[in-house]
Structure 1
Amino acid sequence: MMNSITKLTLLLLCVCASLRDASAAEPEPKPNIVFLLADDLGYGDLGCYGHPYARTPNLDQLAKDGTRFAQFYATGMTCCPARTGLMTSQFPATYPTYPANGGFAERVTITELLNKSGYRTGHFGKWHIGPDQKPGTYGIDVVGDQSRDERGKKKAEDLRGRDAPIYDQAIRFIEESKGQPFYVNVWGHISHNPVDPNDELVQRWSALELDESKFSPAMREKFATLRKAGGDVEDALRRYLADVESLDAAVGQLLKRLDELGLRDNTIVIFNSDQGADMSKAGLGGVRDNQMGFNGAHRGGKHTNLEGGLRVPWIVRWPGHVPAGRVDEQSVISAVDYLPTLCALTGVAINAADFEGEDVSAAWLGKATHTRTRPLLWKTSSPGGQAVIREGQWKLFHPIRKNGGEFELYDIAADPAEALNLAAQQPEVLSRLKTRIEAWVATLPKEYIKTDDKED
């Protein structure tokens, strides 16, 4: 017969086991999500992505604390198409009405899905995803005040930089949301035209002396274009770098506040640019001369489907989940993957067949390199517009137009600068990708409604 001490010991063990089982049964809290989106920031515009002069300590530290991806693609060469893929996991060319005018129609967004699963949702900064910019649209609880219009034109001066008011609003939203899972879009205007930082910010770059040998041939050509038009390259570069530095400072304030609120460990922070830097407008005079964005070694930029227009920064931090200090050079991922990946990480059930992206969470979490099962596809919202496909190492430009045009085929793994057209040397690859892209184009709208002319 057990004595009283033995009975008490067994009772305590049972209680501890019950408490342990109850604790084990408690689900982990859903992660908060902070999505920081820059505008027209080039692939090479951050220190961590190889800019020889940029001062971006906060974003560089974000990359050190998380994972930086080297092959991330926007879903469009301009602002609205890029945002469309992020929000809906649908290729923009599938919309018969340009989403900046008609919205996303019946297609579900990441904010709607998360909102329905208990997330408080917010959006601050640039919109360009439909006519209704108000609370409740796309399941967004709070839509911030606009300190600038859609083109980034000043409405009020802020000596800290033009995106500082947007980040202030996002920080207040985060403060108000503590205690429940939240998702927030922080979509700034830097470095979209006009690039016009105040003199105090520019003065910090007065000692800059440009060594053009530190830049790619495409960037040196941009410098030459500006000089030919009578512009001051060093002054333009100082102003551009001052603008980007002010964005980095705003990011730093938000990250600091997350730490102060004790939210760092359970918050996924993502940094991205909607598309590459504009390489076509240097030399047009006035403020546009300050468009000194750098796309690294890649050719082309915004308004093109070349790597310089589509390959952009993508940084993910989630302490304890996303490996710190990692650079993923191999995974080919896209903005179209954003929705299914976040749903996988937050436990939101979706039918994968309803979306055009893939769950790339294993790549985010450092568990595996992502190998695509579906190609990436691009096309402008025009029946005869160029179509592009990336499948494996290959990228094909299909002219589509009935009057012909040149096919361009590049081995992106070996030639990320897209310098050598292999269409003639690789007829089998050309034929396979041509067939695939034509089959996709045949499913697209035969007419497009586009009345928004502000996209630039």
Structure 2
Amino acid sequence: MKPIFALLTRFLLLTVGLAASAVDRPNILWITSEDNSPDYLGCYGDPHGKTPTIDSLAANGILYKHAYANGAVCGPARTVLITGMYPPTFGGEHMRSQASLPSHVKIYPQYLKDAGYYVTNNSKKDYNIDQNTPGWDESSRNAHWKNRPKGKPFFAIFNSGLTHESSLHPSRHTVKPGIPLNQVRVPAYLPDTKTVRDRIASYYTRIQEMDSFVAKQLKDLEDAGLAEDTIVFYYSDHGGIMPRSKRFVYDSGTHVPLVVRFPKKWAHLSPHKPGTQTDERVGFVDFAPTILSLIGADIPVHMQGRAFLGEKTSPAPKYAHTFRARADERIDFKRGVTDGRYNYIRNYLAYLPTGQHVNYLWDNPATGEWEALFKQGKTTAAQSAFFLPAPLEELFDLEADPDEVNNLANDPKYREVLLRMREANRDHLLTTRDTGFIPEALLVEWSRGSGKTPYDIARDDLQYPLAEIMDAADALLDRGDKVLPKLTRLLGNKNPIIQYWALINCMVLKTEDEKATRRIQALTRSPIASIRIAASEHLARLGKKDPRPVLNEVLLNNSNVMARLQAINALDHVSEAYPYDQSVFRKSAAIWPSEADELTAVDWMGRYKAYDVRVMEFLESK
């Protein structure tokens, strides 16, 4: 009898322990929407925002007035969330780049799972890393906390696509306006047209639908008797929804709504009382550490954010840092810093316009209409800026200029603010070992050829002397063409990344200096595709040399899709003077599979269609 009694006692203790583990730790529910800035919600002050559910959450929870998606488009933003890291740290900033994580890094669901949680995602991933990275118990449209084993606490995400950008595309633009068109506030950077007003007004209807989605998730909790055991987060995956918001590091692209509600049982884990509206700065990079803090787990040292809730809460930083890299088929490199009052943007590829043509963005009729008005000379200076080469730096006072159309970067009165935020940006990029200075084609080439991950490459000071590279990239700041002798010397540097940034700055200057031009001519024969392409584009922009022999060779013979993408972008930039060859396009496009199933099976291929082919199709449609 004694052995049976002892066995029964152990079983009862184990059962009680499991029950206690569920009771003693909170459930956590994330409800996410897509592509909406705080501006459309009633609790954030929009008089037209009909969001009673989210408003109620805010009234009984904490509303964060300064929450930011560190990346301004879905893949990069969600990569920040899933890793608790800035993606440029490991080469994951480019849209759907499928970057390799360093071996010591797990995604946060795995840490929750290791701590005894049942973790589900319903259902969007869209990370810039392997979508099948271990972590979730289930990630699908059927994933639900209701499926958890008895006695387990849960962490669950429910994502709504109702407010996604595509809701404004013709195929999904099927709802009536949520407010009268004459009550729409049109941002100063957009033309005030019926199309623009109609799209914004209709979006309010989608916002109402999304609020109902939030209500359903909360009702499910209530019906299951779990509301008093569950901490609820509501947030959007980045800003939006009209052109010049999503994808861009303006406040309209990175500022997100964030509301967190604590039941009384877990109120001690919040530093704020219910009904608080806090100015505390929070970024997506802080979410993973915060979740681990809420459940009492250790925060891994590689996570680059901080906990803003729970037992391990730490002080808010002075700044939130944002980034833009390649967005779909268009190459770009921007970094941003905001303190909530000012927004600083560093445009590293300042020979390109902010508004490069992205097929998906132009599916919104308002974008094409805006571009047409610009070409007809019918836009204001504020509306035209999107289609003109970006300045090296932008600085905006968000209180005086919420639409960010008055660039203060060259205003002497704001010199101290500019220098302070410029320094904050540099310090952040050095601290995180930002890989963005490596052209994506070269990063792919290096990581494939050596077996080193981008994370490892970024920490190799011989291969990637970041401070020296940044000095080259920043050479034009405050100096302009006075720095040309230095750039000419850097064109001969042995490090290809330093060569590349000397080339980029020559392109920004549009220099025709004879000595620099001779060196750039020589670089069209570089063994590194990114250098050859940039050198050829610069000479073509000056009308000095036909770039097509170099660019077509890459398109026809280079197996690196990112080199091909850089080449087709360069050809697009100079296509007016150097028309493309359709036969080259046909041969180049034929290299890739045509079936969607085949495309998604290749880790470095764009989803459904190679990005370089998209640019070819755009050129052919002009």
Q: TM-score, normalised by structure 1?
A: 0.71
Q: What CA distance in whole angstroms lies between the structure 1 residues aligned with 2:43 and 2:340?
A: 26
For the structure 1 residues 410 and 267, does the alpha-carbon distance in structure 2 shift closer, same or farther, using more than 3 Å as the test? same
**Corresponding residue to 1:141 among 113, 137, 144:** 137
Quote the offset at 1:388 in angstroms: 1.5
Aligned partner of 1:350 in structure 2 is 299
Q: Which amino acid aligns with 2:439?
A: E
What 5-or-longer segments of structure 1 have no aligned partner? Answer: 1-22, 146-168, 281-299
Quote the offset at 1:440 in angstroms: 4.1
Q: What CA distance in whole angstroms lies between the structure 1 residues aligned with 2:416 and 2:196?
A: 48
Quote the offset at 1:426 in angstroms: 3.2
Aligned partner of 1:126 in structure 2 is 124
**Corresponding residue to 1:410 among 389, 392, 396:** 396
Aligned partner of 2:110 in structure 1 is 112
Contact 2:70 2:323 in 1 (8 A): no
Cα deviation 1:12-53 (Å, max 9, x = unaligned): xxxxxxxxxxx9xx7861111111111111221222223333
Q: What CA distance in whole angstroms lies between the structure 2 residues aligned with 1:415 and 1:242?
A: 27
Quote the offset at 1:189 in angstroms: 1.3
Cα RMSD, aligned residues only: 3.7
Contact 2:178 2:201 in 1 (8 A): no
For the structure 1 residues 73 and 363, does the alpha-carbon distance in structure 2 shift closer, same or farther, using more than 3 Å as the test? farther
Alignment of 1:428-443 (within 5 A): 428-441=416-429, 443=433
Aligned partner of 2:246 in structure 1 is 302
Matched, 1:387 2:335: yes
Cα deviation 1:261-310 (Å, max 9, x = unaligned): 11111211111111111321xxxxxxxxxxxxxxxxxxx51121111111
Q: Which amino acid aligns with 1:211?
A: N
Cα deviation 1:394-416 (Å, max 9, x = unaligned): 43212234869332233446655
Contact 2:33 2:162 in 1 (8 A): yes
Contact 1:47 1:60 in 2 (8 A): yes
Matched, 1:444 2:438: no
For the structure 1 residues 362 and 87, does the alpha-carbon distance in structure 2 shift closer, same or farther, using more than 3 Å as the test? same
Q: Which amino acid aligns with 2:338?
A: R
**Corresponding residue to 2:277 among 312, 315, 327:** 327
Contact 1:331 1:363 in 2 (8 A): no
Q: Which amino acid aligns with 1:261?
A: A
Contact 1:40 1:277 in 2 (8 A): yes
Quote the offset at 1:444 in angstroms: 2.0
Q: What CA distance in whole angstroms lies between the structure 2 residues aligned with 1:43 and 1:452?
A: 34
Quote the offset at 1:428 in angstroms: 3.6
Aligned partner of 1:44 in structure 2 is 39
Contact 1:344 1:361 in 2 (8 A): yes
Q: TM-score, normalised by structure 2?
A: 0.53
Quote the offset at 1:377 in angstroms: 2.1
Structure number with greater Rg is 2
For the structure 1 residues 104 and 63, does the alpha-carbon distance in structure 2 shift closer, same or farther, using more than 3 Å as the test? farther
Matched, 1:336 2:281: no
Name the % identity: 25
Contact 1:103 1:129 in 2 (8 A): no
Number of residue pairs matched by the alignment: 372
**Corresponding residue to 2:255 among 306, 311, 331:** 311
Deviates more, 1:396-405 or 1:242-251: 396-405
Q: Which has the higher contact order (CA 8 A, sep 6+)?
A: 1
Q: Which amino acid aligns with 2:296?
A: G
Query: SS of 1:270's equivalent?
Result: strand
Q: What CA distance in whole angstroms lies between the structure 2 residues aligned with 1:241 and 1:391?
A: 29
For the structure 1 residues 87 and 278, does the alpha-carbon distance in structure 2 shift closer, same or farther, using more than 3 Å as the test? same
Q: What CA distance in whole angstroms lies between the structure 2 residues aligned with 1:179 and 1:275?
A: 34
Q: Which amino acid aligns with 2:425?
A: I
Aligned partner of 1:400 in structure 2 is 348
Query: SS of 2:96's equivalent?
Result: helix
Contact 1:55 1:245 in 2 (8 A): yes
Q: What CA distance in whole angstroms lies between the structure 2 residues aligned with 1:207 and 1:81?
A: 30
Q: What CA distance in whole angstroms lies between the structure 2 residues aligned with 1:65 and 1:218?
A: 34
